[in-house]
Amino acid sequence: MTELAMKEPAMTPGPHVRLSDLAIDPYPILARLRETTPVAWVAETRMWFVTRRADVLSVLRDPETYRTDSPRSTIRDTFGTQMLSAEGDLHRRYKSQCNPPFNMRSVQSHAMPLITAHTDALIDAFGNQRSADLRPAIASQLAVFTVASMLGIPPHLHARILDWYASFAAALANFTWDEQVRARGHASAREFQDAITPVLHDLHHAADPSLLGALSRAGPARLTDPEIISNALIVLFGGIETTESTILNVMWTLLSHPAALAAIRGNWSLLPAAIEEAMRWEPAVQSCTRHLEQPATLHGTTLPAGATVQCMLGAANRDPAHFPDPDRYDMTRANAGDHLSFGAGKHFCLGAALAGAEVQVAATRLLQRCPALRLDPDRPSAPRGFEFRAPPTLHVLVA
């Protein structure tokens, strides 16, 4: 523990919450917090959990008070200053320059054909297999391929992405500031920089539609090379496990609700709403982290300067004040799209349209091309995890 971690507050309100319990089934625990202690100090993470949807929105929509650009941010420590560790004009500058390849129009025209062709190739690779684990076979490969293609990372570097990712994931979750974990995160960021900087300079003259291509040609407002690398790192990190886990959660949800699935198979126009509701019901990203530099009061609770706040998205998505009968998976729910699974406010997910396309294509192609697709009863699985949440494996029978 370093001086960067905050001291335990004198009063320790709220029920005892164990991360190991949250990782298994967070929803009853979060429901209790939401009801009794909507802003709760959680000793194990040394952070304040915010569980009501309205409070989560107030935090995420108030970047002046609840900040991402804190020296206590493990994201900033690992990737340097980029859009998810910046506020105000700097954040606007980074996000507006990174946005073009990720807006709905580019996703439809450029990304969608790539995603569809790649998904079909991955399903073709099932061949005559009777069973598959959708995590390695589809979700992981599709997420890595898509984000690497959109960034413009050349194919010879794709094999290194998962190694980099593993050390970044450890460094971002390194809330005890373990020096070895930090050093590994920094070493991977330097390796990424060394591999990508020559690519960036080659792209300068080419009409390349990727993010690195667009950023390298941005004219007088062009970001510096270190700014491009740091923003590329958050895009790379932001696009892998999030999308992989969402594909798995959506497929697990659909395959675990046979009546809903039968209705979809009879009417494919029901699929988008069924996916939206699955994203509300079992979000892959369970929290957004913010830091306080000054004391603030939230829902009657005084938070000290230096506090770290975790906006619990899974709790907000099941807040009965907004979603009646919230624990029920109901694909006819009219307001399912009000979920906060992509965050809210200025830091709303840059890749939401891209991720939406990946999930939509993966679910549609899998269900349409594999009419007998069902969960393997001999190898059951279920979502797990406290920050990122997904089934560790998803074994299905294909034929």
Residue placing its CB nearer to ligand HEM in the complex, 230 or 398:
230
Residue placing its CB nearer to ligand HEM in the complex, 313 or 398:
313
Could you tell me the smallest distance in angstroms from the CB atom of residue 376 to ligand HEM? 24
Residue placing its CB nearer to ligand HEM in the complex, 104 or 183:
104
> Coil, strand, or helix at residue 82?
coil
d(CA 105, CA 95) in angstroms, rounded, equals 17
Contacts of 313 (CB under 8 A, 6+ apart): 56, 283, 285, 286, 287, 288, 339, 340, 341, 343
Residue placing its CB nearer to ligand HEM in the complex, 56 or 367:
56
Could you tell me the smallest distance in angstroms from the CB atom of residue 91 to ligand HEM? 6
Could you tell me the smallest distance in angstroms from the CB atom of residue 29 to ligand HEM? 20
Residue placing its CB nearer to ligand HEM in the complex, 72 or 398:
72
Task: Give first-to-last CA distance, the chain, whole Å.
Answer: 52
CB atoms closer than 10 angstroms to residue 332: 11
Could you tell me the smallest distance in angstroms from the CB atom of residue 304 to ligand HEM? 21
CA dihedral 273, 366, 118, 200 (to 10 degrees): 40
Residue placing its CB nearer to ligand HEM in the complex, 278 or 398:
278
- Determine contact, residues 102/147, Cβ cutoff 8 Å: no
CA 279 from centroid of its chain's CA atoms: 11
Could you tell me the smallest distance in angstroms from the CB atom of residue 129 to ligand HEM? 27
Residues lying near ligand HEM in the complex (CB under 6 A): 83-84, 95, 102, 147, 150, 234-235, 238-239, 242-243, 246, 284-285, 288, 341-343, 347, 349-351, 354-355
User: What tokens appear for 88 in the block?
Assistant: 């105000």
d(CA 21, CA 9) in angstroms, rounded, equals 23
Could you tell me the smallest distance in angstroms from the CB atom of residue 337 to ligand HEM? 14
Q: Which residue's Cβ has the minimum distance to ligand HEM?
A: 351
Any idea what the Cα angle at residue 355 is, between residues 353 and 357, rounded to 5°? 70
